[in-house]
Amino acid sequence: MKSNIIKYIFIIFVIAIMGFAIYKIKTEDSNITENNNTVQEEDDEIIKEVTLGVAQYDTMNPILSNNKHIQEISRIIYEPLLGVNKDYQIEKCLAKDWAKTSATTYLIKLRDDVIWSDGEKLTVEDVLYTIDLLKQIPSIYAYNVQYIINVDKIDLYTLQITLDHEIPFFEYNLIFPIMSKKYYEGEDFSTTAKNNTPIGTGKYKITQNTDSEIILEKNENYTREELTLEKITIEKYSNLGELYNAFKLGKIDLITTTNTKIEDYVGTIGYNVQEVAGREYDFLAINTQSAVLSKKEVRQAILHAINRENIVATVYNNKYKITNYPLDYGNWLKGESTADNSYNLDYSKQILEQNGWTFKNNKWQKTENYVTRTISFRLVVQASNTTRVTIAEMIKANLAEIGIPVTIVKASDSQYQNYLQNKNYDVILTGTTESMSPNLETFFGESNLANYTNEEIKTIMNDVKNITDENLLKEKYNRIRQIYDDEVPYISLYNSYYAVISNWNLKGNIEANWYNIFMDINNWYKN
């Protein structure tokens, strides 16, 4: 009996010790967790400042500046009537609403709660003043207003714009920054010292502009969104090489570039890259009125015989983006494509054979109405553009592989312009700087570069001028793309390279297109 009591006491003692041990372990774990949380909070402490850079600074006035970096930064200092989102779709900004009231007139209603960074209210007078400026002085935005023949003030916050002719999607022209009339009153706009620190209605304002740097701080009069960043420093550099080196050394947090060999300057680690299609778009315009090239199967065969992947890899360091359609740079109305436009020599030959072409005597031949035609063409390229000459030679070599001979015409600058104007070529290697507008007049309108006519597309192009319903617009543009994919009046090649490169310690959603790299700056921070 006594031994049992001793045994029970021993068991209770052991249980007590185990309980105490468990308690100590849990307590220590809790302390460790609390310490870790404290460290984590310290690690996650955010820095509400970033540093940017600008090479070859000219002026902070966005209407006068020709500097790409200044124009990018201007998006957070000044505001337009209308802006565009990531998909290049129009969105309201200073304009509260807008309407196309006739083929050549637009009614615009301004917000009545916008305050300049100096405390004055935005009114329609500022818009009239800005449009008048753009019509008088050299500016990258002069094109935006060149077809405006009249601007009428309806009231303090409403104006009407009249054009000299109908311009499809003219609203995309209303993206120029609005300047303050009162701020510049009595000053020479082009030479005033006020251009060092002009005022805006945007998220940030200029508080300092020295020989070495520009300081931006929150615009306290901007109340439409909450901003995390409180200060932005913009360092000035004499050239791009200095700018790239500063980024490599961690002195600035973000750069944009079109340089396809940027890694040679900034290395390959320590940063994030967002690549988007650039504005420069190259393509082959095919004369669809040519006896042989009028056959869509010939155009389709040419498309599949061109190795665009090799061109981009060899010439552009794999940085340019292969594209299949003029709006493939990311426009919201690019349409949906199910076409396979890949490089495929066997499929290229198959297309021709299925449409009655035979390969005899080293030539593709077809007889129709007692006339035998063979496939060959002259490819015009601008001789002074050595890169395009190289690409033309690569295209010639590609087509030789399926038995289509190509003669390259290396035209002088004046000859090349004559070819474009008169459209008296078989095929021409050319390109354009794309706008944000989904207007396709260049490719399908009167006197287009392919001499291409399609009644259904013509009808759709006329319809979309006055359609505001987004779903209907998408439906119409989908149909245009379907026809384009089938008819192949042009062969799209690629869009240029554009990249936003940011250091790893810059956080937030750094989402961009070539129009605006600061779309989501509201949530940027560093840690």
Task: Out of 147, 166, 201, pick the residue that ends a domain.
Answer: 201
In a domain, 110, yes or no: yes
pLDDT digits (tens, 9 = 90+) for 211-262: 999 999 999 999 999 999 999 999 999 999 999 999 999 999 999 999 999 9
Asked if residue 23 has pLDDT above 70, the reply is no
Could you say which of 169, 201, 233 is where a domain stops? 201
Are 393 and 477 contained in the same domain? yes
pLDDT at 369: 87
**Who has greater pLDDT, 31 or 47?**
47
Tell me, what's the pLDDT at 511?
85
| 301 plus 424 within the same structural domain | yes
- What average pLDDT score do residues 126-138 get? 96
260 compared with 14, residue with greater pLDDT: 260
Say which CATH number the domain at 354 has: 3.10.105.10
Residues 193 and 335 reside in one and the same domain: no
> Is position 416 within any domain?
yes
Q: Count other Cβ atoms within 10 Å, centred on residue 33.
A: 10
Q: Are residues 281 and 190 in the same domain?
A: no
With respect to residue 510, please indicate whether it lies within any of the assigned structural domains: no
Say if residue 281 is in the same domain as residue 197.
no
Q: d(Cα 409, Cα 430) in Å, to the nearest integer?
A: 13
Check whether residue 187 and residue 295 sit in a common domain. Answer: no
23 in any annotated domain:
no
Of 49-53, 278-282, 511-515, the one with minimum mean pLDDT is 511-515
Reported as a pLDDT band with limits 50, 70 and 90, residue 41 is very low
Prediction pTM value: 0.87
* Residue 20: CA count within 13 A, CB half-sphere: 6
d(CA 146, CA 351) in angstroms, rounded, equals 46
| Overall domain count for the chain | 2
| Mean pLDDT, rounded, for 321-346 | 94
How would DSSP label each residue in 231-274? EEEEEEESSHHHHHHHHHTTSSSEEEE--TTTHHHH-SSSEEEE
Residues 150 and 296 in one domain: no
Domain CATH number, residue 135: 3.90.76.10
Q: Is 465 within a domain?
A: yes
For residues 467 and 326, membership in a common domain is answered with yes
Residue 503 in any domain: the answer is: no
Q: Are residues 196 and 320 in the same domain?
A: no
Q: Are residues 185 and 289 in the same domain?
A: no
> What's the pLDDT at 15?
52
Beta-carbon count within 10 A of 15 CB: 10
pLDDT above 80 (res 36)? no
Give the pLDDT band of residue 10 (cuts 50, 70, 90). very low
User: Which residue(s) pair with 510 in the sheet?
Assistant: none
Residues 354 and 460 in one domain: yes
User: Which range of residues forms the domain containing residue 432?
Assistant: 277-497
- The answer as to whether 226 is a domain residue is no
pLDDT at 13: 46
End of a domain among 180, 201, 222? 201
Express each pLDDT in 351-378 by its tens digit. 999 999 999 989 999 998 889 999 999 9
484 part of a folded domain: yes
Q: Do residues 313 and 165 both lie within one domain?
A: no
Cα–Cα distance between 141 and 173 in angstroms, integer? 9
